[in-house]
Each structure stands twice: as structure tokens, then as C-alpha cells.
Amino acid sequence: MCSLAWDYGLNVDLNKQNPLNVVSLDWSTEGYQLLMIQLHEGEKQVIQLDFVKSVLSVNPSMSCHSFLLLQGDDKLYLNRGDALQKMYAHYATLEKSKNFYGGGEKMEEDYGYYNFGSDNKKTITSINTLSESKHWIVITLPTQYAASNWPIRYSAIDSSGNNIAVAGRTGMALYSLLTRKWKLFGNETQEKDFVVSGAILWWNSFVILGSYSLVDHSDEIRMYPRDSKLDNRFASILKINSPVMLMNIHKNQLIMFTSDGYVTIFAIAQHSMDSLNLIKLKVYDIKNLCVHPACVVSVSLANLKNDVVKFPPSSDTLLLNVSGKIFMLQYENIGVDNQQLTSTCLASSVECLWVSNSSKIHLKDSLWLFCGNHGMRVWLPVFPRPGENGQRHTFMSKRIMLTFTLKIYPLVILFEEAIILGAENDTILYTSDLGLHFSLPFCTLERSTQVYLHQILRQLIRRNLGYNAWEIARTCTNLPYFPHALELLLHEVLEEEATSKEPIPDALLPSVLEFIQEFPVYLQTVVQCARKTEIALWPYLFSMAGKPKDLFQQCITQNQLEIAASYLIILQVGLR
């Protein structure tokens, strides 16, 4: 049974007859095409649907970047998530010249951003354009490389977003977004002498990849400098004992998982402009945690500390995703010179994992786990208030696991901007005439976004961690959609509690309103939430937020006339 179906218009009843009668289907090599056999008027026809996939599906180490990279069989789709960052310097200048929380009330529904006055049209236009750009940079594989190495198997982008490495059936190729040019091996024989396996990574200006040499029949780690020719003369090659399954980068360390069940940590040292040295630091034996090497989905290092066992203060934690279960591995000091490897299972049903590299202290080194239908889980450090007894905090941070739902499938998390990026497919049907080639839908690829700040704040407030929520929110006040995040926080809690059919013993709305009062946008947030909510819910909102007439008087006193005008609509309804 095939569940593929589209809207063929009002003239076709899909319950009685589905024009797309598929009798057999199968995936092609690398899963880029879905081949289907359609039965139409007694004849069998072959239908091919092309797919793209996230780079995370084959190279999980790319989760540390803020770029949305998708790969097809012969092309790459890149969306620059860092475009959100380009507007903050200009917006900070605007904040100094005008009160950040003053101005108009209008919120752009399509983008979710506030309009802070008619005299800032240029700024708001740039915010809308940069923040919600749907533009994809399409990078097509060069014919010289694709002719013998199709399809794409691995791809990676560097931290600057200007350089991309691609590996196909054999060899690899480099692409520069600055020059819009590809760099291929000058010697085609060298290109066909090795196969990339496990992963391909960027470290500064070097490409690091796991490979198998077809000449020496050995497994290797190869390192090529970006600024030199693609030639084995400039490559640093390290022979290893087993095939590379996964690799990752943490600061100046290389994490390598091989098929023999060992995770090896190397220190990366640049020997010269064109060469790197790998110095072995640690070896983890994880054969007892995985039934088969293919069960290990991702491997990474992070600066996490567990409350259960005592770890060395400067040690890093090895994170493994084994069949959806996240394990924390770290050596525990036993005695003077002895160490024991300990493991802790953090979560299950995990599909993707991110370690926050945010500059915000309360989000730094937090662990983000996407668990499919179970939503997103965030293992967040919780810091004590200043002046409280912080004896336990001298050697470790207490953490809390927060859970919230998502409307999109996360591919990139922008920790500085509090936004999750994803990709979705939209179909356009030009005709329902099955005799035409256009009867199949035309698919368009779009980027999707979701703000998660209000979800974090709500979970912390619910757990009586309002101080930690305030600390996180305080670091996000420079975001242009920060008032919108507060409005989402208030709206979701209001809708849930006001429409509840059962008594709520511990209502969250008073705590949320008290929290929003800590910021100068309280009057604006309440009225914006009310105007986008059913009138039947207004009495419950204003019974805790304050009387509309009193809030209106506060707007007049503070000379916020545009916000006061919004309260007039509520006063006209009869609420006083």
C-alpha cells in the first residue's frame, strides 16, 4: 500500500479512485530517488521522485554549524542561517537612538516581528528580508567529477560558510562560495585511489576525512590543506587499523570511531602551512554499549559534568548516540593513578543531538536532543542565585531536563538567535489530467523556522526557576522578536488555562504575567495578546493582568500613545 497522494482538485474523489495507483516501489542508490511502478489503464509506467536529505543524515558532525545544508544526488542546497546575525549590529545602533520598547504596536503576521515605528521602515525591511529569506544557493556538482563519481555521498561546510567539501564514489572536490569555483584533483588517478568513509570535516583551513586506500588496501585519515592544490603531495596521511565509521571535531581535538568498537581522541597540531599532525590522547572501548558498529549514530565531545559521579574538573564528556540512546562516557578518578570508564544513559528515542556553543552563560554547553514525536529535550545547566550557597557549584553544575514540542523537524539550531531552522516540501499541481506530464505535482523546497525562547521560559517558570528564566530572557532582549516571544509565552498559557474544562490547582498565568512585568514591554505584550485572542478569554486575562482602564492610564502616563490606542478597542467592548 502506497500512502503517496496529492490534491487532484474537486473533480477527483480520492476515496473511490486514486489516480496514483502504485503497485511497487523501491529506493535507488543512496536513497536519492524513489522508483515507483504505476498501473494506469492496464499499462505499467515508471515514476521517479527525486529527494534531497539533510547533511546530518550522513555526517552528524555538521550539527555544530548554523548553515542549513541539504544534499541531492548531484547538487547541494545551502541556506545561510547566519543572515539573521547580519542585522543585529544595525539594530543595536537603532536601540541606542530610540527606546527599544517604544513605538508602534503592529506585528507583521507573516514574519512575527514588531514594527517599532514608521521612521524605521528601512530597518524593518532589512529584518524581514534577512530573517525570512527563502533563497537557496544551489551548487551543482561539476561534470568532470560527477561523470565518474556520482552520486554525492558526503558533504561538509566550514565554520565560515564559505567552503564546502564533497565526496562521491571516489575522491573528493572542494567548492568556494567566494570565488564560485570548484577545485578538483589535478591527477585523476589520485582521485580514484581512495574512497571517503565515515565522515568529511573541516578544521580551520584543512579538510579531514576518513578513507580507504584502493591502492594500499588500508584504512587512513587524510588531511588536505584548502589553499594548496588537491594533490597527495600536500596531504597528511595517517594509517589506522580499522575502517572509520564516524568522526567529529571538538575545538582542537578529532574524535574518531572505528569499526573495531573503539573511540580515539586525537589532538590536532598544525605542523606547517600545509600539514597537520594527529597526537593520540585517549581511547574509549565502547564494544559493550553497541551490538554492531552501525548502531552508533553519532559521536561527539562536550564539556558536560554529571551530578552522579566525580569527574576531573577539566575533562570532556564523550557523547554517543547508540540506536537512539544517548550515553555519557567519562573517566572517573579512582585512587591516585587509576581511572575507570563510567557511562550514563541520558535519554532514548533521540534522532539528532546538538551541543550549544552559545555565548549566553545560561545556555552554554546545554545539550539539545530531538526525540521525534516526544519533542525536543534540553539538558540545561541551572545556576544558583547570587548569594545562595553555591558549594556544589564549585565543582559541577546542576542540570534540568526540559521538554517542549516542535512544529517543524529541526535541522539547525541558532542558539544566539533562539530560532530553530528546518526544511519542508510544498507541492503545486498544475493539472489533474493524467494524460499530461504535468499531472504529477511540482515540488518546491522551503525553509521553515520556529522561535523556541518562549518554550524554554515557560518550562523554567513552571518549575519555579523564574530567576534562571529571567537571566536567559535578559540576554535575548536585543532580539527584534523578543516582544513577540513574550507574547507567545502569554498567549499559549492563556489559551491552555482559560479553555480548560477542569479546575487548575496551580495556575501558571499569574507567574507568567509577573515575569513579563520585569520587562518594559508588559503593557504592549498584554494588549497584543488580547487583540489576537477571543473576546471570551479577556475577562480571565485582565482579572490577573490588571484592569484595562488602569493599563490604559499607565500608557498615557508613560506617553505610549499608540499602545494606549489599542486599549481603546478593549474598553469599547465594555471591560473596565
| pLDDT at residue 145 is higher than 50 | yes
Pairwise CA distance, residues 492 & 510, whole Å: 13
Which cell numbers in the block locate residue 208?
A: 579531514
**Which pLDDT band holds residue 96 (cuts at 50, 70, 90)?**
very low
d(CA 311, CA 456): 28
Mean pLDDT, residues 91-108: 37
Q: Are 530 and 541 in contact, with CB atoms under 8 Å apart? A: yes
Q: SS3 for 318?
A: strand
Given a contact cutoff of 8 angstroms between Cβ atoms, the answer to whether 500 and 508 are in contact is no
* Tens-digit pLDDT profile for residues 5-63: 665 555 566 666 666 778 889 999 889 999 999 887 788 888 888 999 999 999 999 99
Instruction: Give the residue, 19 or 314, on which the prediction is more confident.
Output: 19
**Position 177 pLDDT exceeds 80:** yes
Amino acid at 562: E
At 342-399, the pLDDT tens digits run 899 999 999 999 999 888 888 988 999 999 999 999 999 888 777 665 455 454 457 8
Beta bridge partners of 174: 165, 183
Per-residue confidence (pLDDT) for residue 512, from 0 to 100: 97
Mean pLDDT of all residues in 205-217: 96
Higher pLDDT, residue 5 or 245: 245
127-131, 141-145, 208-212, 475-479: least confidently modelled range: 127-131
Average of per-residue pLDDT across 445-467: 94
- Quick: pLDDT tens for 275-307: 999 999 999 999 999 889 999 999 999 987 644
pLDDT band at 427 (very low <50, low <70, confident <90, very high): confident
41-55, 117-131, 250-264, range with the lowest pLDDT? 117-131
Longest dimension (CA), the chain: 85
pLDDT band at 128 (very low <50, low <70, confident <90, very high): very low
Report helix, strand or coil for 73: coil
* pLDDT at position 39: 81
> Backbone phi, then psi, for 374, in 5-degree steps?
-80, -5
- Considering only 27-36, 316-325, 334-343, which range has the smallest mean pLDDT? 334-343
Residue reference for cell 527599544: 100
Window from 3-17, 225-239, 562-576 with minimum mean pLDDT = 3-17
Q: Which residues pair with 96 in a beta bridge?
A: none
Written as one string, the DSSP assignment of 126-171 is HHHHHHT----EEEEPPHHHHHHH-S--EEEE-TTSSEEEEE-SSS
Query: Given a cut of 70, is residue 87 above it in pLDDT?
Result: no
What's the rounded Cα separation, in Å, for the pair 335 and 45? 71
Q: Is residue 1 over pLDDT 80?
A: no
The C-alpha atoms of residue 102 and residue 404 are separated, in whole angstroms, by 31
User: Is there a contact between 127 and 113 (Cβ–Cβ < 8 Å)?
Assistant: yes
The DSSP result for 508-547, as a single string, is: SHHHHHHHHTTSTTHHHHHHHHHHTS-GGGHHHHHHHH--
Those residues with Cβ within 8 angstroms of residue 317's Cβ, 6 or more apart along the chain or in another chain: 301, 302, 303, 304, 305, 306, 311, 328, 329, 330
- d(CA 418, CA 478) in angstroms, rounded, equals 12
- Whether the CB-CB separation of 545 and 526 falls below 8 Å is answered with yes
State the pLDDT confidence band at 81, using cuts at 50, 70 and 90. Answer: low
pLDDT at 503 > cutoff 70: yes
CB 404 within 8 A of CB 376: yes
Tell me the chain's radius of gyration from C-alpha atoms.
Answer: 27
Tell me which of 161-165, 221-225, 302-306 is least confident. Answer: 302-306
Mean pLDDT of the chain: 84
